[in-house]
Each structure stands twice: as C-alpha cells, then as structure tokens.
C-alpha cells in the first residue's frame, strides 16, 4: 500500500529528479535509484514524452514509491499527470490554482517557493511540502531564517545545486530533504553511473542526518 509523503521522506528524504529521461529507459533508471533507497521520483514535464514515462513507472512501482511530475505549471497539467497514474505534483513556483487542483484530486503537492511569503502562501493553499528553489540562490543561512518563521510541520525541500557536499549544511539549517537533479541523473548518463550516484547521495544524506 502506498505511503504518505512523510512516510517516504522518513525512509530516505531525497527526491530523484529525472529531467530528460525517456520512456524507453525510465523503468531501469528508477530501478537503479530504488535499489539505492530512493522512494520519491519526479519526471519533469519538459522531458521527452513525460506522461508515458510516468505511466510506466507508476505501473512498475505501484505502492512502492511516490511517483509523479515536476515542472507542473497549470491545472490542466495536474489533471494529465493524474490521468496517467501519477500521484505527485512538483512545481517551480507558487501557483494556488495548481496547488488547489492537486489537493482536490487527492495528489501530493510540492510547489516551489523562493521567499518565506511564497512558502506560507503555499502552506495556506494546502501544499504538503515546499520546494525551496533555487537553493543555490537561497543558501543555508537564509533557509535557517525561513525555518524560524515556518512551522516544522511543513517540510522544506531545497532543490537546485544540491549534492553530497552541501546537504549537511542545508540539513542543519532546517531542510527536511532534497530534490536531486544533475548530481543524480542527466540524459545520456550510463546506468552504472546513475546507480553509483544514487548510492553515494543516499550515503551523503545518511551522514548529514547523523551530523
């Protein structure tokens, strides 16, 4: 049976962002990250045939992972993701119409925010977590100031430039997990490289949690 966002974050608080993945390779790529402990996957909608990939992954890993789309910009795209079996909606921005549509459809929604105002707006609209984006611009010190006013009940998930070298600093500042793109997967990367990246990043996350 599928778990909640918090269930999956408790297992491993990392989201695999597979920008550029193709339907032909998506299942083998997800199998590699699943083996490393990842339990949340997003296929950005600016990937090749993203809905096909989401449908394949959702069928292959039904009940084992939280699977959906990233770069979701409109309510119509939310409905398309739901229609192909996705249950996760990730956006780069705070769009209350996108959040509301996702919540009404029973989907997990993680909108993007670059300011505390946006994060609190997303929370008020019913978001399950906030994608702190772009994390390179915000940095751990600013994230710590966000956390001083944003309740611990709202997971803050930095995305953008996150790798094994800066996870610990963001974690100490109040991050609840991370979205990993280029440090994990890039279009054309060999499967063994993706697997090695996934294992290293899961280890880095474990080390960051231990302090």
pLDDT mean across residues, the chain: 97
Q: Where along the chain do its domains lie?
A: 5-210
Tens digits of residue pLDDT in 6-49: 999 999 999 999 999 999 999 999 999 999 999 999 999 999 99
| Whether 195 contacts 29, CB under 8 Å | no
Mean pLDDT of 129-134: 98
pLDDT at 80: 98
Active site residues: 42, 131
Mean pLDDT of 43-71: 98
pLDDT at 2: 67
CA atoms within 13 A on the CB side of 68: 26
Domain 5-210 is found in CATH 1.10.357.10: no
Residues 123-156 as b/e (b if ≥16 CB within 10 A, e otherwise) read bebebbbbbbbebeebebebbeebbeebeeebbb
pLDDT band at 145 (very low <50, low <70, confident <90, very high): very high
- Evaluate if residue 1 carries a pLDDT over 60: no
Percent of the chain with pLDDT over 70: 99
- Phi/psi of residue 42, each to 5°? -125, 140
pLDDT at 15: 98
End-to-end, the C-alpha distance of the chain in Å comes to 32
pLDDT at 211: 81
């Amino acid at each position: 049976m599928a778990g909640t966002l918090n269930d999956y974050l408790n297992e491993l608080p990392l989201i695999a962002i597979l920008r550029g993945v193709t339907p032909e390779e998506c299942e083998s790529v997800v199998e590699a990250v699943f083996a490393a402990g990842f339990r949340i996957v997003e296929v950005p909608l600016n990937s090749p045939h993203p809905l096909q990939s989401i449908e394949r992954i959702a069928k292959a890993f039904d009940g084992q992972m939280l699977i959906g789309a990233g770069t979701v910009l409109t309510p119509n795209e939310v409905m398309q993701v739901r229609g192909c079996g996705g249950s996760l909606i990730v956006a780069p921005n705070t769009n209350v119409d996108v959040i509301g549509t996702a919540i009404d459809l029973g989907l997990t929604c993680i909108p993007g925010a670059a300011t505390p105002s946006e994060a609190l707006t997303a929370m008020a609209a019913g978001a399950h977590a906030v994608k702190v984006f772009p994390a390179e611009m915000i940095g751990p010190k600013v994230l710590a100031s966000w956390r001083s006013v944003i309740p611990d009940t709202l997971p803050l998930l930095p995305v953008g430039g996150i790798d094994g070298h800066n996870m610990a600093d963001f974690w100490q500042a109040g991050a609840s997990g991370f979205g990993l793109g280029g440090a994990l997967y890039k279009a054309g990367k060999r499967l063994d490289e993706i697997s090695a990246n996934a294992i290293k990043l899961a280890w880095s996350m474990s080390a960051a949690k231990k302090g």
